[in-house]
Amino acid sequence: MFFPTALRPRYAKWLIATGLFLMLGGCVDKPNTLERVKEDGVLRVITRNSPATYFQDRSGETGFEYELVKRFADDLGVELKIETADNLDDLFNQIGKPNGPVLAAAGLVSSDQRKQQVRFSHSYLEVTPQIIYRNGQSRPTDPGDLVGKKIMVLKGSTHAEQLAELKKKFPGIEYEESDAVEVVDLLRMVDEGQIDLTLVDSNEVAMNQVYFTNIRVAFDLGDARSQSWAVGPGEDNSLLNEINAYLDKVQKNGTLQRLKDRYYGHVDVLGYMGATTFAQHLQQRLPKYEQHFKNYAKKEKVDWRLLAAIGYQESLWQPTVTSKTGVRGLMMLTQNTAQAMGVSNRLDPKQSIMGGAKYLAYMKDQLDDSIKEPDRTWFALAAYNVGSGHLDDARKLTAKEGLNPDKWLDVKKILPRLSQKQWYSKTRYGYARGGEPVHFVANIRRYYDILTWVTQPQLEGDQVAEGNLHVPGIDKSKPTQEPAPL
């Protein structure tokens, strides 16, 4: 093309400017994953539907993984959106897909195979893989005993990888991988004798053991392993770095330990015999008083299952019990407490439950506003047991030790000191059996957890009962023998 000489410099400048514009336009960086999350205002997370990860109860969404990742979303200032995977293969396939979840929080253990699909965060929980068998059957003691047994594990799990490695050494080991079950299903199948063995992590065994009273740990298969979150593959470390910083922070400030304590710190309270007895009493005793628990809990704005858990801890749901110290009835009220709550007959279960509900609500109202949930509930239970004065003493001792007097995890460490002269001599209310409220709260939390799961199908009627929430089953058949009363 021909241009007059005078126009050539102008045209050259135009070409240069246009080229620079195009180059700069092409060099504009796309937002990284963390920036996109913040711009969208949403953190999309994929998980598993299980008691150790994520589930829904009457209060809404809950679970160890949910609580941990919800705090992360709050830290980012974004909304949390949870989706559940049908199986582990689906979970790993979904991470990092366009408009899909950017993070998996599902109790995952890293492995060489998985590292080819995703990148893992810092660890937040140590677990041990355990072989589970049914009580009454021959107990396996080493990997060679797995030969000839009917074994099932989750498809795509690290447990399946472990068994594949074992099979190289013991070719007779046969196992089935299933993507139609969750851990609670595997434990139920062992409990009912549908399969001989399964392999699951120790935290899930501990959490679900009480629902399946026939399961036992045969042996640990390998060393403890770390659970981590996972993000998609690639070189964009923006979200992963933020996750690691968050996990390090909650490890340091005690948040992680409080969550561990809440979900796993009381899993061994019942033991096998206690779990069996509780399952029997759920069928035989609770139905007689359940409506009273619900009515008075609603009136006092407390959770009826928490109220029922207190009743079980106090009397095993027996209305005529009297202790050596003179407390009486289903809720084991003292004479003074009964009078203050308007109870004229402590042996009347309806009145006793009414009094217990009012007293629990009263204890909760008396607490300092600085104590927030869920700690507020645990403090109220401790005060219900030991009295608000002794609880205040323990909180003051806690503060003097440089711990947080508004956190149950800290105060429960100090409460037992109230029975030691070197400590209670410095308090206003003096001696108390400070270890008792610690056990009292731990027991009630465990009973409450069980009641939460057992009543979960009532959340949305048949829709939930027949849906894909995995609810641990309680044997509905009538026990052969009623345990002796207290």
CA gap 117, 320 in Å, rounded = 61
First CA to last CA distance, the chain: 106
| 228 DSSP β-pair partners | 108, 123
Q: Under a CB-based contact definition with an 8 Å cutoff, are residues 359 and 376 in contact?
A: no
The helix-helix angle for 286-300 and 304-315 (nearest 10°) equals: 130
Q: Under a CB-based contact definition with an 8 Å cutoff, are residues 407 and 254 in contact?
A: yes
CA gap 449, 461 in Å, rounded = 20
Phi, psi angle pair for 475, to nearest 5°: -60, 120
Q: Under a CB-based contact definition with an 8 Å cutoff, are residues 132 and 138 in contact?
A: no
Judge whether 314 counts as a catalytic residue.
Answer: yes
Phi, psi angle pair for 228, to nearest 5°: -145, 165
Beta pairing, strands 129-134 & 197-201? antiparallel
- For 81, the token pair is 């959106």
Options 39, 314, 466, 482, the catalytic residue: 314
CA gap 441, 443 in Å, rounded = 5
Beta pairing, strands 119-127 & 225-231? antiparallel
The catalytic site residues sit at 314
